[in-house]
Amino acid sequence: MTKATGAAGDPPYLRIVAGIRQRIADGELAPGDRVPSTRQIAAQWGVALATATKALTTLRLEGLVEARPRVGTVVAGGALTAPTRRGPASSSTPDSERELSLDRIVRTAIGIADAEGLAAVSMRSVASRLGVATMSTYRYVPSKEDLVLHMADAAFGEESYRADAQQGWRARVELGARTLWGLYRKHPWLAQVGSLTRPLLVPNLMVHGDRMLAALDGHGLDPRTLFDIHVLLYSHVQGMAVHLEMEAHAEAVTGQSEDQWMDGRAADLRNLVESGRFPAFAKAIGSFENGYDLRLDALFEFGLKALLDGLTPLVEGPGPSGR
């Protein structure tokens, strides 16, 4: 965790401001460079997102940083910096560190997306993070759209499966679904890429799909039913996962956690419950001692079990069955 410079008695946001201001003055951050995002500041300095947002706002008011569409918050052109910048492009940096490759570009882009969301990824932001000219990256990947495909393929390829010929179909499906959920948890932006109607055609996602189909195969299902079940299971995993990035983005924009956001709307919820117009809703909400706690991981497992319980007779057929 990073500690900001500044007077010990200063509020946390002012110490963060002082730390970033010093990096700009030292030339570590030059005009046009991305400054840490609210998420990065919160993680590095151990503060709330609201504090991180206040720090960036202060830097904007001082004219040191500015927001650029599709890029993020960068050092302003008029910010004072030292004449010699220290960083990746310095002549002291080994040649091997400056050599580009498709893998370095993709991994850098994934790092940006993990920390700041998919919207923060651009050819320019990746080049800036690598300390190279933007046009250099185009020698390896022709567009952001292609870059995102490479990112998704690399992310889905981070997990593989051992041979499990002795396992039953349900155990294999459960492992496949949980493996995908874990990848979406690790890379929240990943569920935003592609859809059921316009699926991602990348090899490493196919690995997960092929495994799911193989687990369901051999039980007498016709090909269409087999594929429909596969799509239904995948939609459950992805459908739950899209909320991971949406919540992360909402926290970054508002500076409020999910609980803080709900606390701020307690009066609105109370008015709905007490209006008498929604008796079933009021009854359900009223039965919780401390309110309803939405837990995505638990809801994912609950939905997966419900789906598989319902699908078991279809997959295994009538009569006595075992898993």
Per-residue pLDDT tens over the stretch 149-195: 999 999 999 998 887 656 899 999 999 999 999 999 999 999 999 88
pLDDT for 291 equals 74
Predicted confidence (pLDDT) per residue in 249-287, tens digit: 777 777 777 778 888 888 888 898 889 999 999 898 888
Predicted confidence (pLDDT) per residue in 89-102, tens digit: 444 443 434 578 99
Q: Which residues pair with 74 in a beta bridge?
A: 34, 66
For residues 1 and 16, give the distance between their C-alpha atoms in angstroms, rounded to a whole number: 12
For residues 37 and 170, give the distance between their C-alpha atoms in angstroms, rounded to a whole number: 42
Check whether 200 has a pLDDT greater than 70: yes
Amino acid at position 77, single letter:
G
For residues 171 and 249, give the distance between their C-alpha atoms in angstroms, rounded to a whole number: 34
Weakest-pLDDT range from 81-85, 99-103, 156-160, 315-319 = 81-85
Predicted confidence (pLDDT) per residue in 132-162, tens digit: 888 889 899 999 999 999 999 999 999 988 8
pLDDT for 173 equals 95
Tokens (6 digits) for 92? 């002291």
Check whether 197 has a pLDDT greater than 70: yes
Higher pLDDT, 105 or 266: 105
Evaluated on CA atoms 152, 153, 158, 160, the torsion sign reads: positive
For residues 67 and 56, give the distance between their C-alpha atoms in angstroms, rounded to a whole number: 10
Tokens (6 digits) for 4? 């900001």
Q: For residue 24, report the phi and psi dihedrals to the nearest 5 degrees.
A: -70, -45
Weakest-pLDDT range from 23-37, 40-54, 69-83, 163-177 = 69-83
First to last CA, the chain: 47
Amino acid at position 78, single letter:
G
pLDDT for 177 equals 96
Highest mean pLDDT among 13-22, 32-41, 56-65, 220-229: 220-229
Beta-strand (E) ranges in 13-168?
A: 65-68, 72-75
pLDDT for 232 equals 96
Highest mean pLDDT among 46-50, 58-62, 305-309: 305-309
Q: What is the mean pLDDT of the chain?
A: 84
pLDDT for 93 equals 41
pLDDT for 178 equals 96
